[in-house]
Amino acid sequence: MYEVIVIGGGPSGLMAAASAAEHGAKVLLIDKGNKLGRKLAISGGGRCNVTNRMERKQLIEHIPGNGKFMHSPFATFDNEDIIQFFEGLGIQLKEEDRGRMFPVNDKAQTVVDTLLRRIQDLRVTIWTNAAVKTIDYLDGKVDSVKLMDGQVLKTKSIIVATGGKSVPHTGSTGDGYPWAKKAGHTITELYPTEVPITSDDPFIKKKALQGLSLRDIELSVINPKGKIIKTHEGDMIFTHFGISGPASLRCSQYVVKALKKFDVSSIELRVDLFPGKSEEDLFQELWKSVKAEPKKQLKNVLKVVTQERMLLYLYEHLSIPSEATCANISHEVLRQLAKTLKQFIIHANGTLSIEKAFVTGGGVSVKEIEPKTMHSKKAEGLYFCGEVLDIHGYTGGYNITCAFSTGYTAGKSAAERV
């Protein structure tokens, strides 16, 4: 009999299996797919952003979905422990912008292979192509795992690490939710987070700006009364359906929630192309440039302000005669241009589906989980870790940090309980 059975071979499941075995348990890791670590292998654009080196306070601020819950798991195994863990296994890591940590060779597969080797060295039994039908409970305790092929595996501890519902081709298809419900757990409403935003604005439909990237902008989600709900800075890109890129992904969950909360068909987004400058300063700069070159055409004088494609679109959108000489351009025209560069409006009508999202919002309610151990408050011997839980962070190594931390904590606790 296996003392600990881990269901799911993603980041949290692999770490849970390693941790449980390290702490002396006889472990079985089962996954319905034919390959372990598939989500890990494609994370960070195939480079695997293993964690983020920010201070713990900042780290928790970057986990908008129940980040405070993570204080306890981080006390057991935090981002610095994750770095030591991988470097101890021979993977050299490097720090990039905003604290993101990557393997020096930029290969996610190295991380996957090293983790699998560690698990094999710890004598964890691995079953792939083994789909779980259900978990059976007896007298408020876990009793066994029932596989689709009819096999019944008796055990004292089960760690559910089945992921959410996003990126389903990696195996995250929401399998763990019914097993949690069966034990009496609440599943909070699921929604896409870290997902591209959609818009029906005419310029989006016409693909006027498709493929254009804007760097270091600020994107704000605005409520129907004109108040800012959330602002994120970073890069964004216009697509054929709306907008994507880091700033858009980070704002996406606020779009989803605002559409629902205010029961409206669209939510306003404002793009500030010059977050470091006031509208007045920007206007003065434009006016100075125009005054210095009175005989030149406006479009030739201002082409250095931002991407030319963006400017050409704005001239058309604001009916500004870009062919006109600077001497013939009024204050009002430049004020209008400065205002639009500081507040370019997009109307978001939703996001792509949860399956297209990087991360699932919602899941097993953390109110029903003991944060120090990841143990269920509903059934003895039942543990949860990773994205199956109602915990989510922004992209940038925060979700994987939660997965490794909760996985390690669950594995350690399950082994110590045996």
Distance CA 381, CA 378 (A): 10
CA quadruple 140, 142, 143, 147: dihedral positive or negative? positive
Average pLDDT for the chain: 96
Where does the pLDDT of residue 93 fall: very low under 50, low under 70, confident under 90, or very high at 90 and above? Answer: very high
Structure tokens at 162: 């089945």
Reply yes or no on whether the pLDDT at 248 is more than 90. yes
Q: Which long-range contacts (CB under 8 A, 24 or more apart) does 279-282 make?
A: 279/338, 279/339, 279/342, 280/338, 282/338, 282/341, 282/342
Q: What is the pLDDT of residues 146-173, one digit of tens each?
A: 999 999 999 999 999 999 999 888 889 9
The structural domains of the chain, with segments of one domain joined by +, span 4-190+358-417, 196-352
**Residue given tokens 């931002």 in the structure block:** 306
Alpha helices in 242-329 (DSSP H): 246-262, 279-292, 298-301, 308-317
The torsion defined by the Cα of 38, 39, 40 and 41, in degrees rounded to 10, comes to 50
Q: What is the pLDDT of residues 108-151, one digit of tens each?
A: 999 999 999 999 999 999 999 999 999 999 999 999 999 999 99
Task: Indicate the SS3 state at residue 155.
Answer: coil
Q: What pLDDT is stored for residue 98 in this prediction?
A: 87
Structure tokens at 196: 């591209």
Alpha helices in 89-232 (DSSP H): 108-121, 176-182, 202-205
Distance CA 12, CA 52 (A): 16
Q: What pLDDT is stored for residue 199 in this prediction?
A: 98
Q: What pLDDT is stored for residue 78 in this prediction?
A: 98
Q: What mean pLDDT is predicted for residues 191-198? A: 96
The torsion defined by the Cα of 112, 195, 93 and 401, in degrees rounded to 10, comes to -80
Q: In the CATH hierarchy, which top-level class contains the domain 4-190+358-417? A: alpha beta
